[in-house]
Structures are given as C-alpha cells and as structure tokens.
Amino acid sequence: MSIIKNQYITDIKQIIVSARKRAYTTINTVMVEAYWLIGKRIIEEEQQGKQRAEYGQEIIKTLSEELQNEFGEGFGERNLRNFRQFYLTFKDIEFGTHCMPNLSWSHFKLIMRLSDKNAINYYLTETAANNWSVRTLDRNISTLYYQRLLSSQIKEPVVSEMEKKTVGLQLDKLEFIKNPAVLEFLGLPANSGYIEEELEKAIIDHIQHFLLELGKGFAFVSRQQHIQTDTAEFYIDLVFYNYILKCFVLIELKTTKITHQDIGQLDMYVRMFDDLKKREGDNPTIGILLCTETDKTIARYSVLNESQQLFAAKYMPYLPTEDELIAEIERQKQILKVQFGGNK
C-alpha cells in the first residue's frame, strides 16, 4: 500500500514539475518575442526620422512615458534601449519559426553585452543546447570560458572544470518566474523586494546628490548621456565636470557582477569622451565603475592617461575614495531594504 501511495505522490509531483516547465517555456517565449518586436518597431520608427540620433532619443522618451503609464515601470527608457539593442544584436532570429524557449530575457541581456560575434553565437548556441541557467552563463562569460576553450589544445579539462564549478548554479532553473520583471510583464503585483531598475535609479539618484554635496568641485552635466560613433550609440549613467580638477568624471553603475566587458566598456567611454567632449585645457577624463551586486559592492576608478602615483597625488584629494563610494551605496541599499519590507 505504501509503495502505491508513494507512486501516487511521485506522479502528482511530476505533473506539477511538467506544468511549471511548460509555463516557463510559454511565458518566456512570449516575453522575449515581445521585447524583440518592440526593438524592431523602435528601429523602424527611428529610420523614418531625418535626424536619426535626436529623433531616436525623442521617440524613446515619449514611448517610455506612454508605456509606463499603462504597463508599469518595466518599460522605462533604459529597458526600451535594451529592447532596441536586443533587436540589433539578434535581428536574424525569426521568432515565428525559430526561437530558443529555454533562453530567458536575462540570458539574452548577458549575451548581447558581448561585442565579439563569434562569442555571441557560441554562448547563444551552448546556452540553448545545454540549458545553462542565467548564473551559469554569467559565470562562463565573466571567466572568459569561450576564449579559454579557443586557446586550449586539450579542451576536455576546461569543459570538465566549468561543469564542476557550475553544478550549484544550475539549480532551480525556474527561479526566473519569481523575477519581478516577469511578474510586471504579466501585469501581476511584484511585492517580494525591490526590482533591479528601482535599485539602479535610487542609487544613481543618491550618488548624484552625494557628489554634489561633497563640496569638492563637482558640477552635474547629464544623466544617461548619449554619445555616438559611426557604428554604435551609448548611454553613460552619470556625467559630472569637476571645475577644480578641470576634467569630466563618468560614472557607470552595474547591478550585476562586474565583468571584463564592463571594465572595457568604461575604458571605451573614457576614451570616447576625451575624443568627443574634452576641451583644450581640460585634464583627461576619469571613469568610475560601481557594482551593487547583492553580497558585494565594488567601486573602481578607470585611469587611462595618468600613472597611479600621479593620480593619487593630483586627483584623489578632490574625489571620493572607493571606500567612501562603497559606503554610500551600501547605505542606500539598506534604506531600500527597509522601504521594501526588509526583503532581499
């Protein structure tokens, strides 16, 4: 009798697991497809404008206001730009006939940060084929797994090490269903903690106020500063000008673990700002990369044109230390935790 009963319980558990997997596949596919189509429609609209860069910024702002009023904060300007970039990166995907249902929006966001097309195709294919969780994919990208495989004559040890170190990261692959962004997409209340965009906005607000109140020559220039090359467009989270140091200070915020790509991107922003915005008599641009990963906050300076010794002597008396920046971010995170009921 107990054997029959145990089988009965096992069967019901399997029904639930199977139903959850189907729900995951359905919700995920529809959500990703919608974001791709939104990105495509934004591009189509931009291409009608005579002055594409200015027109593109305006339609993103207008569209964001309209969508947020009806569908919530998940359609802010930053996310709309992500959808736009999603389409540009993966415009060859035909969602009507070819989609990867086990790749979530979070997977695509990680992959589309890469600039190497071969790496993009590799991670896209391998994630789908091996059903990598978001945490596994994040770990593999940040540890340059693809590049290490390419440079290894014997690949088995590299693969074996990766599989061993990501076993724990593969657990609870349906965790994404609890993601507030998914709940918001479905029109459901998300009350289990602060969502990434709220955290990001609150910290940027706080850092902007903190630097201006520091009394060390900071003047606010712009948020989401748009800079453009012949082939790409970028948006920098915060831009200041320090009139004592006579240089621009760029701040980029990441709510996930810092990767080599993030560091390289900030260095690129610094170079671009020197080329496009620095005036005669200005000192080299300074970049600050902030990471608010849940269990570890990190602050790093990007100094490309000065030695560390000269930077410490000449610049640091007028800049917040990395420890001061970390402390301010941690203070803001604690405030948010209280506001959102102590969750997360």
**Six-digit token pair at 44?**
């189509």
Q: What is the pLDDT of residue 232?
A: 62
Q: How far is CA 180 from CA 23, 188, 239, 344, in A?
A: 16, 9, 29, 12
Question: Can you tell me which residue has the tokens 């702002």?
Answer: 61
Rounded Cα–Cα distance for residues 325 and 308 (Å): 19
Non-local (6+) Cβ contacts of 125 within 8 A are: none
Report the Cα 161 to chain-centroid distance in Å: 26
Ranges of beta strands (E only) in the chain are: 218-228, 233-242, 247-254, 286-291, 298-302
Q: Report the b/e string of 177-187 with b at 16+ CB within 10 A.
A: eebbbbbbbee
**Six-digit token pair at 9?**
């319980």
Q: Please tell me the CATH code under which domain 196-339 is placed.
A: 3.40.1350.10
Q: What is the pLDDT of residue 321?
A: 80
- How far apart, in Å, do the first and last CA atoms of the chain sit? 44
Strand 247-254 vs strand 286-291: parallel, antiparallel, or unpaired? parallel
Domain ranges within the chain, ordered by starting residue: 2-185, 196-339
Spell out the per-residue pLDDT of the chain, length 344, in tens: 455 567 778 888 888 877 877 776 777 788 888 999 999 999 888 877 554 556 667 888 889 888 888 887 778 888 898 899 999 888 876 654 445 667 888 888 888 888 888 989 899 888 888 888 888 888 888 788 888 888 887 878 888 878 777 776 665 544 555 555 565 666 555 444 444 566 677 778 888 888 888 878 889 998 888 776 665 667 888 899 999 989 899 988 877 677 777 788 888 888 888 888 888 888 888 888 888 764 455 667 776 666 667 777 777 888 888 888 888 777 777 666 555 444 43
Q: How many Cβ atoms from other residues are within 10 Å of residue 76's Cβ? A: 19
Question: Can you tell me which residue has the tokens 């995951």?
Answer: 24
Rounded Cα–Cα distance for residues 72 and 23 (Å): 23
**Six-digit token pair at 233?**
């467009």
Q: What is the pLDDT of residue 169?
A: 63
Rounded Cα–Cα distance for residues 148 and 340 (Å): 41
Q: What is the pLDDT of residue 194?
A: 45
Q: What is the pLDDT of residue 153?
A: 77
Q: Report the b/e string of 201-216 with b at 16+ CB within 10 A.
A: ebbbebbbebbeeeee
Q: What is the pLDDT of residue 38?
A: 92
Q: What is the pLDDT of residue 252?
A: 87
Question: Can you tell me which residue has the tokens 């007028």?
Answer: 318
* 121 secondary structure, DSSP code: H
